[in-house]
Each structure stands twice: as structure tokens, then as C-alpha cells.
């Protein structure tokens, strides 16, 4: 009998489905299928690849409500967040449908004369994609779409918490006309066994991973053995800065999105708030009032905020807040908790957070907003940049020139200026420092799945 594992709704703790628990044999079969499909897919005309991606975009939107319910069931996020994620996820299919027909290339003349250079971009080959549970649709399409646009075939391992959405996306791709073997999803509880088998397999030429920095380091070490082309979207510790001349209504609205999108379970989530001392009380009062009104519960109840993904995540967030409070922080505002069995943590605002508190260093991955104050801009920037992470940051300032200067001084791959959302399929999503390598989305996302080659052509003068 085939082994299975249970997918559980983190809001109700009910079993949602049993899914095949695949192992190393199935991981190899997926590579067999991707390898067999590669020659034909990589030679398929860009226009045809583009049309399949475009159909996948339309099919995702057709099934938006059903997919949103599925995401909410296995991940717990609110239906509003889930529906937003489906639209966001579908947009990667549309964006890369449009990029597929623009593979680019250059024709140059050698400065010394005597040679012409023809630069072209080729699919890197079979691509292993490893995705997390927090955006089970968007993280899958953000990798699958550029891989297919580039002409790669793909093998995808979703997180064990949320395999159902990835399977649904794969079914839509089949309906859109994707040939057999071009994308195979492997569901497993043995992530290190399956991904390890892929990294050991000489037919696999690419690894694209989204998840924690700790696992990213492990995969990079493993990828080094065969020098596998690697893209890594890893953890973050996003600062959210408010200056004394900021529009506070806009700052509060931005903070609600940057902190509570997906219940705070996003690598881009605002992790630490730096509010100018002159406006801190007002900001905390307005922000706190909004936070207290957030409804927490199962998606089916129409709640704003769902549960954390697991009991381990709940315990980690509880511990992080308890340690901050023990170090001197104070809970200024908190939403109510539902009387329900799920892994719920109440949206919480912490003030008087000491500058050296661990909560300002570690990724919270939950609905907790620690707020500190500042007065001196250079000391602020020192604190903000004193982290191994460099993914996202947010700046709210009235003076745009100052906002831009601050934005460029922050060591982060993405900075939201007077807005609490940086994610956009047309922008190069990714981090600096230990937040990752490479970019997803934009033209850059396509390049991650291509290898640049050139022909140097003798050109007698």
C-alpha cells in the first residue's frame, strides 16, 4: 500500500486530505520524466510556451475562489489573503507568458576588431523547485512560470504542510496544455531525502528554493558538490521606518499590510518598527486601535487573521514575545483570541522594546509588531543595517528625497517607499546579505533559469 501523510487545517485541526508520501524512488522517476520531456519542451516555440502559460493564468483566475478555499484550508490564512494570493500567483503566469517571447540576446563587435559576439540565453535544464507553506500558490508559480518560459522542465517539492495547492496548480497546467513530464510535483515528508536525491542527480541542473536561511545554507552546501546553479529566497528581518514628517494615516495603513498580510507569516513582513520619537505615541495609538479590531479565527468565519501554521510556530512566537516582555517590552495593544482549537496567536503591539532585544534580530513570522523609537538618522541606519538579513524594508516619510536617501541607505533588496507592499511580479524580488541569492519575477526571474552563452565569430577586417 502507498504511504500517505495527513494535511491538517491549522485553524480547526481537522484532517483535510491524505497525500502520497513519496520517497527517493519517486524523486528519481520525476527526474526521469523531466529529463525525457526536456528536449521537446526546450525546443517548443516560445510563442507556444507563452500561450500555455497564458492559459494557466486564465484558468487560475477562473478557479480563484476554489483555490482560495483550498489555500485557506491547508494554510489557515484568511479568505481575503488567500484570494489575493491566487491573483498574485496567477500574475506570475501572465508576466512570464509575456517574457517567454522575449528571450533576448545581443550581437556585438569585439573592441579589438576581428570578431563578432553573438550572445544567447538557453534553458539551464531540469530545475528542482522547493517551496514553503506560507504562499503555497505564489511561491510555486513564481518558480514554475519562469522555468517554463525559459524552456526548462521542473520538479517541485512543496512543503509537507501545504501540498494540495501545488497539486492543484499542476492540474491546471495540464488543463492548459502542458505536456506530460514537464512539471512533476513530488509530495513527501522526507524533504531532505527527496531534495538530496535531486541535488545528487547529475541530470538536475538547477535548484530554486524559498524558505528559511538555515535550510538555504544546507542546500547551498549540498549544491556545491556538483556546482548546481542556485537561486535562494531566504529569511528576512524587515525594518519599518516612520519619520517625524510622515503621513501617519498612510504609515498606519502601510503597517497593517506590511505586518499582518498573511498573519505576519511572510519573509517580507515588517519585523521591527522604528518610529520617530516625535510621532511615536500618535503612531502607536492609531496603529494599536486598528490592531485591536482585527478578528482572529478560521477563514470560514470571515476572520482577518488566521492561525499560525503549526504548534511549533505558535510556541516559537509565544516564546519570542515572552522573552521580549521579560527584557522590558510592554504589550500596548492586542486583539482578542477566538475560543477555537487552532494555532492562534493574537495580533500584538509591543512598545518600550529594548534595542538589544532578540525580537528585533530574529524573524518573528507571526502577528507581532515590536516598536522602538529613534531621533538620530545615522544611529537609526546603523541599527537597521546591523543584521545578517537584507530582504525587505519600508520607509514612510513626508519628504520624498529623504525617503529615497533612507531607502538607498538600507541594506535590503526591496524597499517600500510610503507603501507596505513590495511584492510585484514585474519587480526583481530578492534579498542581499544572507537573505538570498538571485531574483524572482521581472526579467531577472527568467535569467535565473537560463544560461548565457556566446559564439565568437571570426570577422576578418
Ligand X SMILES: O=C(O)CCCC(=O)O
Ligand Y SMILES: NC(=O)C1=CN([C@@H]2O[C@H](COP(=O)(O)OP(=O)(O)OC[C@H]3O[C@@H](n4cnc5c(N)ncnc54)[C@H](OP(=O)(O)O)[C@@H]3O)[C@@H](O)[C@H]2O)C=CC1
Taking CB under 6 A as the criterion, which residues in 201-260 touch ligand Y?
210-212, 215, 218, 233-235
C-beta of 21: minimal distance to ligand Y in Å? 11
DSSP at 298: -
Nearest-approach distance from CB 134 to ligand X, in angstroms: 5
Q: Give min distance, CB of 223 to ligand Y, in A.
A: 11
Contact by Cβ (8 Å): 139, 131: yes
**C-alpha span between 68 and 53 (Å, rounded):** 20
- C-alpha span between 258 and 429 (Å, rounded): 15
Nearer to ligand X, 91 or 201 (CB): 91
Among 41, 96, 365, 394, binds ligand Y (CB under 6 A): 365
Nearest to 135 by CA among 229, 71, 207: 71
Partnered with residue 204 across adjacent β-strands are 126
Gap between the Cα atoms of 10 and 312, Å rounded: 12
Q: Which of 145, 170, 266, 384 binds ligand X (CB under 6 A)?
A: 266
Tell me the number of residues near ligand Y by CB under 6 A.
23
135 touches ligand X by CB under 6 A: yes
From 74, 99, 161, 233, active-site residue: 233
206 binds, among ligand X, ligand Y, none (CB under 5 to 8 A by kind): none
Cα 88 to Cα 91, 235, 239, 383, 423: the distances in Å are: 5, 20, 24, 33, 9
Residue 254 binds ligand X, judged by CB under 6 A: no
Q: Which three cell numbers stand for residue 344?
A: 492562534
Report DSSP letters for 24-71, one per residue.
HHHHHHHHHHHHHHHHHHHHS-HHHHHHHHHHHHHHHHHTHHHHHHHH
- The CA angle 107-112-115, to the nearest 5 degrees, is 40
Dist. CA 268–CA 236, nearest whole Å: 6
Q: Which does 365 bind (CB under 5 to 8 A by kind): ligand X, ligand Y, none?
A: ligand Y
Q: How far is the CB of 366 from ligand Y (least distance, A)?
A: 8
Instruction: Give the shortest CB-2-to-ligand Y separation in angstroms.
Output: 18
- Residues within window 347-376 making contact with ligand X, judged by CB under 6 A: none
Interaction between residue 346 and ligand X (CB under 6 A): no
Query: Residue 410 contacts by C-beta under 8 Å, 6 or more apart in sequence?
Result: 239, 381, 384, 385, 393, 395
Beta bridge partners of 453: 120
Residue among 270, 296, 288 nearest 384 (CA): 270
Residue 411 is a catalytic residue: no
Interface of this chain with ligand X, residues 93 to 132, rule: CB under 6 A: 132
Which residue in 230, 268, 303, 348 binds ligand X (CB under 6 A)? Answer: 268
Counting contacts by CB under 6 A, is residue 426 touching ligand Y?
no
Closer Cβ to ligand X, 135 or 396, answer by number: 135
Measure CA 161 to chain center: 16
Q: Does 210 sit near ligand X (CB under 6 A)?
A: yes
363 touches, from ligand X, ligand Y, none (C-beta below 5 to 8 Å by class): ligand Y
Give me the helix-helix angle, 46-62 and 138-150, nearest 10°.
160
Report how far residue 125's alpha carbon sits from residue 206's, in angstroms, rounded to the nearest whole number.
7
Shortest distance (Å) from residue 344 CB to ligand X: 20
Among 75, 188, 229, 423, binds ligand X (CB under 6 A): 423
Choice between 309 and 350, CB closer to ligand Y: 309
The Cα-based distances of 416 to 32, 87, 329, 397 in angstroms read 43, 20, 27, 11
- Counting residues that bind ligand X (by CB under 6 A) gives 11
Active-site positions?
233
Interface residues with ligand Y (CB under 6 A)?
A: 130-134, 157, 159-160, 191-192, 195, 210-212, 215, 218, 233-235, 267, 313, 363, 365
Interface residues with ligand X (CB under 6 A)?
A: 132, 134-135, 138-139, 210, 266-268, 423, 429
Amino acid at each position: 500500500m502507498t504511504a500517505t501523510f495527513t494535511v491538517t487545517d491549522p485553524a480547526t485541526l481537522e484532517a483535510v486530505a491524505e497525500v502520497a508520501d513519496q520517497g527517493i524512488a519517486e524523486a528519481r522517476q520525476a527526474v526521469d520524466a523531466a529529463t525525457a520531456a526536456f528536449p521537446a519542451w526546450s525546443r517548443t516555440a516560445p510563442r507556444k510556451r507563452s500561450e500555455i502559460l497564458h492559459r494557466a493564468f486564465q484558468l487560475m483566475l477562473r478557479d480563484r475562489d476554489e483555490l482560495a478555499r483550498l489555500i485557506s484550508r491547508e494554510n489557515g490564512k484568511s479568505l481575503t489573503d488567500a484570494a489575493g494570493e491566487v491573483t498574485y500567483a496567477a500574475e506570475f503566469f501572465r508576466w512570464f507568458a509575456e517574457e517567454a517571447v522575449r528571450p533576448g540576446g545581443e550581437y556585438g563587435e569585439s573592441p579589438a576588431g576581428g570578431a563578432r559576439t553573438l550572445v544567447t540565453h538557453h534553458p539551464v535544464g531540469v530545475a528542482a523547485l522547493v517551496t514553503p507553506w506560507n504562499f503555497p500558490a505564489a511561491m510555486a508559480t513564481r518558480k514554475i512560470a519562469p522555468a517554463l518560459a525559459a524552456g526548462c522542465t521542473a520538479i517541485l517539492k512543496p512543503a509537507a504542510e501545504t501540498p494540495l495547492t501545488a497539486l492543484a496548480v499542476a492540474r491546471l497546467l495540464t488543463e492548459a496544455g502542458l505536456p506530460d513530464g514537464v512539471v512533476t510535483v513530488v509530495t513527501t515528508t522526507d524533504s531532505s531525502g527527496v531534495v538530496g536525491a535531486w541535488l545528487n542527480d547529475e541530470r538536475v541542473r538547477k535548484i530554486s528554493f524559498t524558505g528559511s536561511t538555515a535550510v538555504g545554507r544546507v542546500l547551498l552546501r549540498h549544491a556545491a558538490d556538483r556546482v548546481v546553479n542556485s537561486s535562494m529566497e531566504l529569511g528576512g528581518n524587515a525594518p519599518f521606518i516612520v519619520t517625524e514628517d510622515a503621513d501617519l494615516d498612510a504609515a498606519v495603513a502601510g503597517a497593517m499590510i506590511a505586518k499582518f498580510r498573511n498573519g505576519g507569516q511572510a519573509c517580507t513582513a515588517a519585523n521591527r518598527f522604528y518610529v520617530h520619537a516625535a510621532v511615536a505615541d500618535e503612531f502607536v495609538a492609531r496603529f494599536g486601535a486598528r490592531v485591536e479590531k482585527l478578528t482572529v479565527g478560521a477563514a470560514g468565519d470571515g476572520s482577518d487573521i488566521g492561525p499560525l501554521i503549526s504548534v511549533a510556530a505558535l510556541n516559537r512566537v509565544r516564546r519570542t514575545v515572552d522573552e521580549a516582555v521579560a527584557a522590558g517590552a510592554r504589550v500596548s495593544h492586542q486583539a482578542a483570541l477566538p475560543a477555537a482549537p487552532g494555532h492562534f496567536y493574537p495580533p500584538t503591539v509591543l512598545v518600550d522594546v529594548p534595542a538589544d532585544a532578540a525580537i528585533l534580530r530574529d524573524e518573528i513570522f507571526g502577528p507581532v509588531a515590536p516598536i522602538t523609537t529613534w531621533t538620530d538618522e545615522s544611529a537609526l541606519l546603523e541599527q537597521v543595517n546591523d543584521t545578517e538579513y537584507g530582504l525587505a524594508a519600508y520607509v514612510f516619510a513626508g519628504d520624498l528625497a529623504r525617503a529615497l536617501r533612507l531607502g538607498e541607505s538600507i541594506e535590503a533588496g526591496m524597499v517600500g517607499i510610503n507603501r507596505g507592499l513590495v511584492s510585484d511580479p514585474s519587480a526583481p524580488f530578492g534579498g542581499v546579505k544572507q537573505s538570498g541569492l538571485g531574483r524572482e519575477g521581472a526579467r531577472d526571474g527568467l535569467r535565473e533559469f537560463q544560461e548565457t552563452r556566446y559564439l565568437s565569430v571570426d570577422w576578418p577586417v
